[in-house]
Structure 1
Amino acid sequence: MDECAMGEVCGPQRQCENTPGSYTCTYACGQGLRKTSSGSSCEDINECEEQPGVCDQTCLNLIGGYRCDCRRGFRLIGMTRCVDIDECSKFRSPCSHGCENTEGSFRCTCPEGYSILPNGRCKDIDECRTFQHDCLEEQECRNTQGSYSCITHCPAGLKPANNVSCTDIDECAERLSGCHYTQTCTNTWGSYACSCSQGFRAAGPSHPCLGFQYVEEPRTRPLPPPRRARPASHGYPTSEFQEKLLQKFYLQNSCQAGFEYLNQECKDIDECRLRDRCQHRCHNTFGSFVCLCPPGYRLNHNQRTCDDIDECVEQSVKCGMEEVCFNQRGSYRCVAMPCPTGYQRDRATGSCILDCRRGGVSCPPGVNYAHILAFKTASLPAGIKANQDLVRLMAYDQLGNLVPQTLFTIIENETGVQFRIRLKNGRGILRTLQPLVAGQEYKMIVEAVSYDEREHFIKYSTKFIIFLHISEYPY
């Protein structure tokens, strides 16, 4: 007879086993458990020891089961498999420049000419200071961002050719000679020579050519400097006194532009003595002058004023992944503008946006953005005085419309200089309270809180991080 078929003869949590002429009651063990040798109790099965390789990496035994874990840099797929995490493909790369994924980790890389820092950022290698350049011994090594340049210095009268050798400067063609305009300039290697026409002579390179020329008629007549017309002679030899008067008359009326008659000769006029010739610096030349601009500027087409060079655009400056090229007057700088965790970069504006649907925060009805982090840069000329407007701030909704009900507040200012925000037509205007120092940079944070026009609840919140640069020059 099978006593076990008669019902629960062993009671709860016990198992009935039929035997010839009788039956026995033993413990019923669940999944991951088994009976002890005596059969009177259950014991755990250590799957990690009894099933080597049940997990890809780490096996943790549990009562009645086990759990597979993965090392740092891996993630669990299913119950047992570990796969590598590609840190470089994340929205926010852990590196400022290049990122190379490795098994269970990653490695930050830098472009050629840069070295990696412990924090993963890249630092320019000064090839000139570390002697990692191939400039010639007679050349000057000049370090640049990510590279270097070899500068060839040539002696007077020569200029660099292909930045390797020197070539002659044609002082005559480039109007750099010191010859008087009545003299003939002849270029030579590294120099030049001044000469007069036959029958004329001069006291030196910058002196006029003077003299007499004998013609077929039995009389002499004084000749003016070359290329200048003069009245015909009277048909008879002139006296020495008359000749001096004629020379003085013709010289006074034959000086070209840029010269003045002085001490019986045409002297160069130093136009740079006159004020306001050039915006930056005036350099006098023989018979004229040129205006010069500081580094980072170029001469305007009017040949007087200086225009800033936008290196970010013209030189295609490449900054780090979380950096933006900030063009400054006369220079540029890569400014770090990282987005906080949970924010996304708006490609159109460069702002960081916290989306309500992804940020896990609550927003008013019809609003998708919980918070906006905007960056503002401005490079201003020297001479900024107190009570002067600098930057205009405007808060927009998600459709790009101006939100007029907005309050602006300076919440961080570590510059040591006082500013204030004045409101005008729903806009915040950053204004100075004291003069700004030339050549300095200022950074501050302004918070803009926008309210609903009807319900008066906070609808948008924008934070402006402002970078100001003051030029060393008033332009």
Structure 2
Amino acid sequence: MTFFVCSRGIVFTYVRLLPTHLSSIKKSSSTGAELHLGPVRHHLCLLSADVDECATNTHSCRPRERCVNTVGSFVCELQVTCPAGYQLRNSVCEDVDECLVRTHNCGLGFVCENTVGSFMCKPKQKCISGFTQDSHGNCIDINECSSLDEPCGSGFNCINTVGSYSCQQKIIMCSNGYHASPSGAKCIDIDECQMGTHRCGVGQICHNLPGSYRCDCQTGYQYDALRKVCTDVNECWRYPGRLCAQTCENTPGSYHCSCTSGFSLAFDGKNCEDVNECDKKPCSQECANIYGSYQCYCRQGYFLKEDGHTCEDIDECSQSIGNLCAFKCVNVAGSYQCACPPHGYIMSANGHTCRDIDECMTGTHNCSFGQNCFNLQGSFRCLSFNCPANYKKVSDTRCERISCPANSLDCQNSPTRITYYQLSFQTNIIIPAQVFRIGPSPAYSGDHVVISITKGNEEGYFSTRKLNSFTGAVYLQRRVREPKDFQIDVEMKLLRQGTSTSFLARIYVFITSSTM
């Protein structure tokens, strides 16, 4: 059995060759052996089967080409897809005339007009304004209220009519406290306060509310529901001892703080500060400021008169005292000369008295940055005002106690406030001398104070005396013959309405030499 190739794409399965049919065999370099069958060749090829290259995927068409099988071969055709309204002809998309081929859907009242890729249905007759044509060519009314965007303004309703429309103003009902807006579209609040239709009384403030209003009293007043008026609040009675440090005076709608004699109102309008009366020079010579008051005293060679302000000269020469000079007299022929100590003083212009040098003002002291300089006659002192534990510093010379724990009895018994004071006197001060006064501020009826020196009076130079039920004083009762510094703690216990409160005055008393 031998296979033969009839032509490309046709395969002859097999045939039995008879010697009588075989004429010759011719070899070829390209096809191998070719059978020359002579007259039977045609009949043999009719017995062969075509190969479908498209079905067997043995073709060589590109992805965009379509394979078409042929007898003994195949053809690759280019695939072209036309959009709607077009048809493929000779591999080209051509427009379809829907009007010509009658594939349109125009009604009887319309005429078909072909367009590129589509068609249009044009009405045979035109409608007047306010009407439009339906799919059957009939003129129907246009509802402008639904087709137009806000045909009427706000506050109006749109009503459709045949061929047109109309606008009718809305009618709205507003509740009390509201009225219709100018456009009539909505209700807006009535400002009774601005329009003056409120019923607030004299001295009341009107506050507008949505649909209503509210009447409030001014600051410092409260509403009297019985009389329906605003009455003044007496802040001094309502908050006793909390608004002012000393005296509280009620004013219409507010209050005012004031201070007793010897004090001035601080910048905060609440606390009172000691007035340094010495700035106004009430004494003829020397003045010592004390808490709430002042003390006049005289230089060497003078004595204080009964008025407590004027110093009168002592005629040392006529009395043969010999103290012609404030510090030292040096006799010379026909006269005398006065000299001052080598440190702390300078000679006055009169040539007799010595004037103290204020080292604190001139900056010639040696106090550190954290210390306060206090000038003395002929010298100065560097003082440190530090607050002890459980106290905070509220001013340069005042400490206030911090809140105590509930179980700390020592803390609760400690002074509520510690205040530092500095006093300076000379050794020639007249004994006994009142050097300090202390008392509550403000004072109330029924107050009772107890004054005592708790520290620094071991040598008994000072004593206390009660001037009245709410004022005490500290006296220098022993003569101090030589310059000496004291630091005494004066405690004032205030009994008020069954409650005891203590205050501490820490006083520096400097006794300087009077031999000037």
Using structure 2 for the length normalisation, give the TM-score.
Answer: 0.32
Higher strand share: 2
Higher-Rg member (1/2): 2
